[in-house]
């Protein structure tokens, strides 16, 4: 929660996250290692609280309420409703995050699989809000307005932090051209694909480690914003290799999990 996330993101290397942590968020991407997971867990939302924060569809987490929780050995499953302040739209909205967690022998987060439930409904709500502000019933016009605002923010971040060998665009004009004409805005499930929404997600981490994150907002997407998987590949990807999300001694009861080991 804000402002505690500010202190955590400064550490870059959170002690509660395993060195080889594997993380996945349904609408975005896979995140590997303690540094990336520290940055995205805490940094993704912390920058949105600043007075000069860039325009974004993401918010600042203010409070939370755990509505479902179960644990068995080192496996945890939970549902949490987090209140986010999306200052770009002047609203506070509830977001349900459902997640599975697995801890290692040291009690650190070894892997997690998270879903932002009804995220497509939230994105549509933001579009509807923009339509009301513009006094239009044309969703395409509203999305175009959001595209211009988000692209302006991403390009502003690039101008500030992506210099020298980290530079991805020759200038602000080229950046805007690529992000408003060469890259699609994206749908709610495409925050990990070759879209502007994906680059919006990654722009908050650029200031933390420009050499790592500048490529993520660049034309190529730096391996984080790419159309590199089909739907079936996404669903069937055998990503969690540390341990199954099944308590010890119970794996063989699940043929799929047993086959993966």
pLDDT band at 261, cuts 50/70/90? very low
Q: For residue 7, what pLDDT is reported?
A: 78
- pLDDT tens digit sequence for 127-149: 999 999 999 999 999 999 999 99
The DSSP bridge partners found for residue 72 are: 75
**What's the mean pLDDT when you consider all of the chain?**
91
- pLDDT tens digit sequence for 197-211: 999 999 989 998 999
- pLDDT tens digit sequence for 154-182: 999 999 999 999 999 999 999 999 999 99
Query: pTM for the whole thing?
Result: 0.90
- The topology (CATH level 3) of 4-242 is Nuclear Transport Factor 2; Chain: A, (3.10.450)
E-strand stretches of 59-210 = 60-72, 75-86, 91-103, 109-117
Nearest to 64 by CA among 91, 87, 96: 96
């Amino acid at each position: 929660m804000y402002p505690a996330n500010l202190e955590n993101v400064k550490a870059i290397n959170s002690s509660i996250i395993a060195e080889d942590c594997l993380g996945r968020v349904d609408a975005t991407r896979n995140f590997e290692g303690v540094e990336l997971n520290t940055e995205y867990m805490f940094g993704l939302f912390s920058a949105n609280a600043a007075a000069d924060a860039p325009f974004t569809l993401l918010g600042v987490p203010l409070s939370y309420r755990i509505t479902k929780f179960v644990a068995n050995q080192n496996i945890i499953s939970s549902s949490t409703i987090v209140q986010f302040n999306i200052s770009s739209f002047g609203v506070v909205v509830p977001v349900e995050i459902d997640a599975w967690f697995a801890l290692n022998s040291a009690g650190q987060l070894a892997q997690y699989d998270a879903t932002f439930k009804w995220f497509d409904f939230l994105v549509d709500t933001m579009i509807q809000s923009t339509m009301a502000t513009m006094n239009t019933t044309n969703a395409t016009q509203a999305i175009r307005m959001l595209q211009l605002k988000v692209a302006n923010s991403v390009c502003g971040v690039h101008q500030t932090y992506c210099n020298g060998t980290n530079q991805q665009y020759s200038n602000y004009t080229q950046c805007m051209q690529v992000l408003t004409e060469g890259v699609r805005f994206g749908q709610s499930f495409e925050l990990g694909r070759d879209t502007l929404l994906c680059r919006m997600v990654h722009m908050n981490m650029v200031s933390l480690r420009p050499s790592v994150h500048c490529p993520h907002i660049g034309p190529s997407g730096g391996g984080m914003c790419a159309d590199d998987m089909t739907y079936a590949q996404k669903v069937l990807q055998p990503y969690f290799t540390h341990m199954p999300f099944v308590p010890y001694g119970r794996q063989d009861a699940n043929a799929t999990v047993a086959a993966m080991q």
